[in-house]
Structure 1
């Protein structure tokens, strides 16, 4: 049997350590040992030693005042290295900045990752009060313009795989939470070439998005995001055309994009 296919190369302790780090998210950035034991079902002594080791490597840090662990500064250095390893970001931002200046709205640059939307970067208007960098944030596909744009390039079977794995959580009253309704929306996106987010993930937000595709490979998606007041319906077609023009340019550089799997990773 092929060694790679048999997966004898896997080192389980590394897999366990990586799985622990994935619990530290934007929604829950801090955990105590007790909380992680309850969540992971790992033996307390094993998990404690693993956390201490990750702390020793500066990958985690511990607040002694409340016993909470959080991601360490080493992760920030590594994330910077990861960003510098993606030449498509620097290449794309020139075009996204031009769209931003023409529209006065936020322009997002995203890629797919295991059935979710991963935000690589964004071009912000000078008058926007941005509290944090969007880089590294993930959102569901069914409730975002960029996500639906990417879904429109998949088969119904692939879309169902993603929805079955991640679900269709409701974030706002306009979130699509029914698979049949989602497929109707996907059909409309395929016909017109762009997707619209009508406050489906965040209240008061409206987005226009298009996919970036090279052959059969969905590379990512870009969007113009504003408010339901600033992005009027009569602007949508013009905005979509701006995005399509840039998406076509970016699609010619597939070698610059990260090799991000579209479908969920089934363990």
Structure 2
């Protein structure tokens, strides 16, 4: 796992503005020049110049005066993911997990103190969720993320909390630092983590670590509606399947 990047001594302001524009287009699900300029508190002329440059380079598309993030990012994202060995060896096991459980099977890794869905596979009975491959989430809000945090050194977890905080997603989200560390100690002891409606109401999730030696490389989970993901099913059916899959991924990650 990488360390939290330090802030540059001389940040490039134009680069920062470019990324702020792209993140804003994503969060607003598209925006006009006026909306973007107002949201970022920059001149309309500047917003227009940035957008036209991004459009010319293929990273933004315009339709009816509204700008959206372009599909060229799929090329960058696909390339980045293809370089992750964990993705290659885990994909077949994710598919088996989804087919066996009928729910969503998920693989999360940590980057810059956030959890990134590296891969997902949908089972026959899986419900529609807001998650997608490549999405970033706060680590403390998910079983996957808490699993990763549980296997990181305390000082690394502290730095992640300092940077990203512990905001609530639902009333069940852990938002207290010491409560989180108590939960992480239990997760490490049990070698699994639960998310009981902590990020999405009505959704339960259980996760296990994917290790390389003593280091964690990612976390594997199955998620589904509370009505189907009760404690008995999790303990008797889901967890054994998750541990089997994690074991195979770990072996392939090391030896194949």
TM-score by length of 2: 0.83
Q: CA deviation at 1:134?
A: 1.5
* Alpha-carbon shift at residue 52 of structure 1 (Å): 0.7
Match of 1:100 among 86, 98, 101: 98
2:212 to 199, 211, 214: 214
Instruction: Please state if 1:60 is matched with 2:38.
Output: no
2: CA distance, partners of 1:156 / 1:8: 27
Mapped to 2, the partners of 1:164 and 1:8 lie a distance apart of 19
CA drift of 1:182 comes to: 1.0
1:195 maps to 2:196: no
CA shift, 1:86, in A, is 4.1
Deviates more, 1:36-45 or 1:120-129: 36-45
Question: C-alpha distance in 2, partners of 1:56/1:142?
Answer: 39
- Looking at secondary structure, tell me which structure has more helix per residue: 2
Q: Distance in 1 between matches of 2:206 and 2:216?
A: 18
8 Å Cα contact 1:219-1:251 kept in structure 2: no
> Which blocks of at least 5 consecutive residues in structure 1 are unaligned?
1-6, 257-267
Q: Is 1:169–1:177's contact at 8 Å kept on the other side of the alignment? A: yes
Q: Aligned residues, how many?
A: 248
1:96/1:24 CA distance change after superposition, 3 Å: same
Equivalent residue of 2:95, what SS? helix
Shift of 1:165: 1.8
| Alignment deviations for residues 95-132 of structure 1 (CA, whole Å, 9 cap, x no partner) | 12222233222111111121111112212112436478
After superposition, residues 43-58 of structure 1 pair within 5 angstroms as 43-58=43-58
- In the TM superposition, residue 209 of structure 1 has moved relative to its aligned partner by 0.3
- Equivalent residue number for residue 174 of structure 1: 172
Give the superposition deviation at 1:213.
2.2
Q: CA RMSD in A?
A: 3.0
Cα distance in 1 between the residues matched to 2:95 and 2:71: 30
Corresponding position of 2:22: 21
Deviation at 1:191, TM superposition (A): 1.0
- Distance in 1 between residues matched to 2:40 and 2:112, nearest whole Å: 21
1:188, distance to aligned residue in structure 2 (A): 0.8
User: Which residues of structure 2 form unaligned runs of 5+?
Assistant: 1-7
Q: 1:234 to 1:33 in 2, by over 3 A?
A: same
Q: State the partner residue of 2:221.
A: 223
Deviations 1:1-52 (A, max 9, x none): xxxxxx8998664454334323333x42213323333444445433321211
TM-score (norm 1): 0.80
Which moves more between the two structures, 231-240 or 196-205? 231-240
Distance 1:253 1:8 in 2: 41
1:79-158 alignment runs, 5 A limit: 79-86=77-84, 88-128=86-126, 130=128, 134-158=132-156
Deviation for aligned residue 1:94: 1.3
Matched position secondary structure for 2:170: coil
Provide the C-alpha distance between the structure 2 equivalents of 1:215 and 1:12, rounded to a whole number of angstroms: 41
Deviations 1:212-255 (A, max 9, x none): 22245431111011122212212333433332332233234558
